[in-house]
Structure formats: C-alpha cells, structure tokens
C-alpha cells in the first residue's frame, strides 16, 4: 500500500515538473511577438507586462490580463478557423490557468512570485494573440 502511494506521488511530481519545463521551453522558443498598433489598442497584455516593473498594484494588471484572456477565448470559440489545434497551444492555455492559480496563491504572501506569474500570463497571451493574428491575416488574404 505504501509503495503504491509513493509511486503515485512521485509520478505526480514528475508530471508537474514536465509540464512546467515544457511551458518554459515553449515560452523561450517563441521570439517576442511583434504587436501591431491595432492589437495594442484592443489588448492590454503588452502594456500590462511593461507596467509590472513599476506598478505596485498587481490586481489591476491581473484584471487587465483577465479581460484579454476572455477576449482571446471568445475569439477562439466563435471565430471560424482560429481554433488552436496544436498541443503546444493547449499547453500554453493550461500554463495560463496554472499561473493564474499561482498568482492567486502568492499575491499576498510573495508579491515577487505573483509578479512573475503575471509576467508569464502576459507572455502566454502575447504568443496566443500573435498566433490568432497570423491566422486571421492569412485567412483575410486568401
């Protein structure tokens, strides 16, 4: 019985480690996406990521990122042809949700960790936003 619990626990820890490592590799693998001026006016993840260094109030930045996430999720669900079909894109969405949970846990006790979580959430939204823009641009030209 003890051996089974130990194997399950070790397997879970390894799964979490693989998930975090994969997400970090995906975030590092993408160059900083160029955000057009029309995208900057609609989304606030670019300005939120810049304000993380100087803004002491993290909850306002979190709300801005939440609005962007809701808009991107709405576009993915309702715009034809903009779905995220690759496993990497789904991993990024799961990473966003994991960092959102980590932000909620650390925002009071460890503000620096919460700031890093918000930064990663902004990076994920920037990558997904650029992918949606590329797909929408390709479809508009076709």
- Compute and round to an integer the Cα radius of gyration of the chain: 17
Looking up tokens 């803004």 gives 55
- The model's pTM is 0.80
What CA dihedral angle connects 121, 23, 71 and 48, to 10 degrees? 20
Structural domain including 82 reads: 2-141
**pLDDT tens string 72-113:** 888 878 777 767 677 888 899 999 999 999 999 998 899 889
Q: Is the dihedral of CA 112, 116, 121, 126 positive or negative?
A: positive
Q: How many domains does the chain have?
A: 1
> How far is the C-alpha of 142 from the C-alpha of 1, rounded, in Å?
60
Question: Across residues 37-51, what is the average pLDDT?
Answer: 62
pLDDT given for residue 140 in this prediction: 47
> How far is the C-alpha of 84 from the C-alpha of 65, rounded, in Å?
19
């Amino acid at each position: 019985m003890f051996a089974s619990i130990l194997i399950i626990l070790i397997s879970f820890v390894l799964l979490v480690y693989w998930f975090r490592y994969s997400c970090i590799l995906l975030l590092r693998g993408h160059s900083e996406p160029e955000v057009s001026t029309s995208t900057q006016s609609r989304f606030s993840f670019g300005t939120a990521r810049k304000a993380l260094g100087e803004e002491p109030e993290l909850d306002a930045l979190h709300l801005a990122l939440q609005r962007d996430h809701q808009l991107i999720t709405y576009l993915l669900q309702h715009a034809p042809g903009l779905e995220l079909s690759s496993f990497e894109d789904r991993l990024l969405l799961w990473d966003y949700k994991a960092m959102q949970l980590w932000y909620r846990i650390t925002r009071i006790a460890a503000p620096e960790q919460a700031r890093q979580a918000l930064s990663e959430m902004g990076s994920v939204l920037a990558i997904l936003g650029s992918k949606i823009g590329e797909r929408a641009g390709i479809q508009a030209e076709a």
